[in-house]
Amino acid sequence: MNLRPYQSEAVAAVYEHLRTRDDNPCVVIPTGGGKTPVIATICRDAVGPWNGRVVILAHVKELLEQAADKLRHIAPDVPVGIYSAGLKRKDLGYAVTIAGIQSIYQRACDLGPVDLLIVDEAHLIPPDGEGMYRQFIADAKVVNPLARVIGLTATPFRMKSGPICEPGNILNHVCFEVGVRELIVQGFLSPLRTKAGLQKVSTDDLHVRAGEFVASEVEDLMDKDALVEGACAEIVEHTRPPHDRTATLIFSSGIRHGQHVVEVLKSKHGVECGFVSGDTPAGVRSGILDRFRSGALKYLCNVNVLTTGFDAPHIDCVALVRPTMSPGLYYQMVGRGFRLHPGKADCLVLDFGGNVLRHGPVDAIRITTDDRGEGEAPAKECPQCHALIAAGYQTCPQCGHQFPEPNKQKHEAQASTEGILSDQTTREEHHVSETTYHVHMKRNDPAAPLTMRVEYRVGFNHYFREWVCFDHTGYARTKAEAWWRARSVEPVPGGTEEAVELARAGALAPALHITVEKKAGEQFERVVAHRLGDKPPRLEGDEGLPERLPEPVGTTYGIPDDDIPF
């Protein structure tokens, strides 16, 4: 098996870290990006050239089976044992042991000395206390104090405690990271698009416990007839012809709620939908999953069991019929649709729980320390077609809906800064009906250089702003000089106040059109191009210049200093 370029880079980064540092590295690769081949390659090299012993730790048997399968392909000569009650194996004495943490956490001494402890889904290692992972790692280091830990994860953070790699944690440094957007662009992950549910739910009355909504309250909220029937109708609408989707994975908020979804799909839409939960017997669950993977079952609803380790590449629709406060859970649910599959153009995410608005794009998830996640919502919804898109769009790329001026939306819950994928950029050209020039001084910072604020009026009452830095030095001043020369035959002003006086006296060519760029993840819209009229002739003396500026220096016209991009 040949590794993808970024997988080879990840392996090399791990080796470089182990050679040059004394602490423990972590590799970040998105769901569906292939962490298991990286693990298998490290095992092959550790056992072969270095004559070492390795333990691979995971929390679900699917991950154990994947690791064993990849090791057989990459290193068929490496002796591999499996220690997992779920797989009915308790092998000891092998060069590589693939172990379920629930089965092995009290058996580190039975394995004897090991050199590398590789943890899949490493974000599950608790930041403090004991826990199964911490207990096993501590005991393994008693047997071999030189043992090193290598973590792999798609989500290197926890909502309550932040990054998993810190000096005092078990994992200390992200040695390699590749993002969702990068792998989509390179063709290694499926593109995503997202729609919000027509019926909105408010989570304002839900309580939060241990960083997540209280499960019973969430189920009571979501398991209402109108919500379930509306969600099921939309799921069917978006997955049947002409939209036709191959495999739809539904995440419900509880067993009662999930069974309700299954019943409505069957009774009102004639759709068969499988259902699995933690209470589903192993044999029944295996049969349902096999039918889903084979394509015999198009719809599958689950409760908290198919978030990690479940591999069904043909999933091209993920329906989130539940809200979550956990950014990791949100990512893992959406990640079920990341994988590529023949004939799969993209994966549609149907969000009925406000999760994209709450957490932001899956490649740039917003982590907050507030239990309620209060603050500016990190995405916006098109009111016409319900697409969840980057806030920079003035026109919806899905249906063409024109959004009102951003400042007019501040009372709406969907004011936002990001889209389902963060690297979304839009450029739009606008006809300019009026241009005004103002002196600006940073509030509470009298030492800051003055700047000229140029305000372009477009439409009836919509403004875009540009700052020209005549009082700055270096590149900012050079850029201001070029800006002036493109518009005027007058000498370049020595400072901002002079520039504003000349501009108001008519020294500048009119701006006929401006091009405005907005990139998701950035706070500011930027004027990036202009279509100018003719330069005016030289001003005759100083007669046309005002003696005093008609506004005081430093006025901000109600614009907060934090909204100025420098």
Q: What pLDDT shows up at residue 558?
A: 40
CA 560/CA 472 separation, integer angstroms? 21
Interaxial angle between packed helices 61-74 and 35-47, expressed in degrees from 0 to 180 and rounded to the nearest 10: 60
CA 303/CA 223 separation, integer angstroms? 13
Q: What average pLDDT score do residues 243-258 get? A: 95
Q: Is residue 205 part of a domain?
A: yes
CATH of the domain at 170: 3.40.50.300
Whether residue 231 contacts residue 385, with contact meaning beta carbons closer than 8 Å, is answered with: no
Joined tokens for residue 177: 């990271």
Model confidence band, residue 555 (pLDDT cutoffs 50, 70, 90): very low
Q: What average pLDDT score do residues 16-30 get? A: 94
Query: Within this chain, do residues 261 and 318 fall inside the same structural domain, yes or no?
Result: yes
Query: Within this chain, do residues 404 and 450 fall inside the same structural domain, yes or no?
Result: no
* Sequential DSSP letters for 460-527: TTEEEEEEE-TT--HHHHHHHHHHHHTT-SSPPPSSHHHHHHHHHTT-SPPEEEEEEEEETT-S--EE
Whether residue 102 contacts residue 143, with contact meaning beta carbons closer than 8 Å, is answered with: no
Express each pLDDT in 109-167 by its tens digit.
Answer: 999 999 999 999 888 888 776 789 999 999 999 999 999 999 999 888 775 557 888 88
CA 392/CA 379 separation, integer angstroms? 10
Residue 211: half-sphere exposure toward Cβ, Cα within 13 Å: 12
Placement of tokens 């070492």 in the chain: 52
Query: Within this chain, do residues 374 and 390 fall inside the same structural domain, yes or no?
Result: yes
Model confidence band, residue 235 (pLDDT cutoffs 50, 70, 90): very high
Query: Within this chain, do residues 115 and 198 fall inside the same structural domain, yes or no?
Result: no
Q: Is residue 184 part of a domain?
A: no
Whether residue 261 contacts residue 271, with contact meaning beta carbons closer than 8 Å, is answered with: no
Q: Is residue 303 part of a domain?
A: yes
379 pLDDT exceeds 80? no
DSSP code at position 305: S
Express each pLDDT in 439-466 by its tens digit.
Answer: 888 776 777 889 999 999 886 567 788 9
Query: Within this chain, do residues 289 and 389 fall inside the same structural domain, yes or no?
Result: yes
Neighbours of 398 (CB within 10 A): 16
**pLDDT, averaged across the chain:** 83
195 pLDDT exceeds 90? no
In terms of DSSP H, where are the helices of 60-196?
A: 61-74, 101-104, 108-111, 131-143, 180-185
2 pLDDT exceeds 90? no
Q: Is residue 523 part of a domain?
A: yes
Q: What average pLDDT score do residues 304-311 get? A: 79
Q: Is residue 294 part of a domain?
A: yes
Express each pLDDT in 253-295 by its tens digit.
Answer: 999 999 999 999 999 999 999 999 989 998 999 999 999 999 9
Q: What pLDDT shows up at residue 396?
A: 60
Q: What pLDDT shows up at residue 164?
A: 86
Query: Within this chain, do residues 235 and 354 fall inside the same structural domain, yes or no?
Result: yes
How buried is 263 (Cβ within 10 angstroms: 0-12 exposed, 13-18 middle, 19+ buried)? middle
Q: What average pLDDT score do residues 515-542 get? A: 80
Q: What pLDDT shows up at residue 410?
A: 33
CA 380/CA 378 separation, integer angstroms? 7
Number of folded domains in the chain? 3
For residue 242, whether the previous peptide bond is cis, meaning omega lies within 30 degrees of 0, is yes
Placement of tokens 């950035």 in the chain: 522
- Helix and strand tally (H, E) in the chain? 15, 25
Instruction: Write out the H or E segment, with its range, that includes residue 427.
Output: strand 425-440
Query: Within this chain, do residues 330 and 223 fall inside the same structural domain, yes or no?
Result: yes
CA 298/CA 266 separation, integer angstroms? 13
Range from 3-12, 30-39, 196-205, 366-375 carrying the lowest mean pLDDT:
366-375
Range from 320-329, 365-374, 518-527, 545-554 carrying the lowest mean pLDDT:
545-554
Q: What pLDDT shows up at residue 413?
A: 30
Last residue of a domain, one of 419, 450, 477: 419
Q: What pLDDT shows up at residue 562?
A: 40
Last residue of a domain, one of 384, 403, 419: 419
Query: Within this chain, do residues 73 and 217 fall inside the same structural domain, yes or no?
Result: no
Placement of tokens 């009836």 in the chain: 460
Q: Is residue 40 part of a domain?
A: yes
Query: Within this chain, do residues 169 and 42 fall inside the same structural domain, yes or no?
Result: yes
Model confidence band, residue 559 (pLDDT cutoffs 50, 70, 90): very low
Q: What pLDDT shows up at residue 364?
A: 63
Give percent of the chain above pLDDT 90: 51
Distances (CA, A) of 209 to 158, 206, 222, 430: 15, 10, 18, 48
Q: Is residue 323 part of a domain?
A: yes
Query: Within this chain, do residues 411 and 431 fall inside the same structural domain, yes or no?
Result: no
Print the domain residue range for 221.
Answer: 190-419
CA 38/CA 322 separation, integer angstroms? 33
Q: Is residue 183 part of a domain?
A: no
Q: How far is CA 296 from the centre of its chain?
A: 32
Express each pLDDT in 66-115 by its tens digit.
Answer: 888 888 888 888 899 999 988 888 989 899 999 999 999 899 999 999 99
Whether residue 489 contacts residue 482, with contact meaning beta carbons closer than 8 Å, is answered with: no
Query: Within this chain, do residues 373 and 434 fall inside the same structural domain, yes or no?
Result: no
Placement of tokens 């392996």 in the chain: 11
Last residue of a domain, one of 153, 178, 203: 178
pTM value surpassing 0.75:
no
Whether residue 461 contacts residue 407, with contact meaning beta carbons closer than 8 Å, is answered with: no
Query: Within this chain, do residues 119 and 45 fall inside the same structural domain, yes or no?
Result: yes
CA-nearest of 271, 225, 264 to 247 is 271
Neighbours of 47 (CB within 10 A): 23
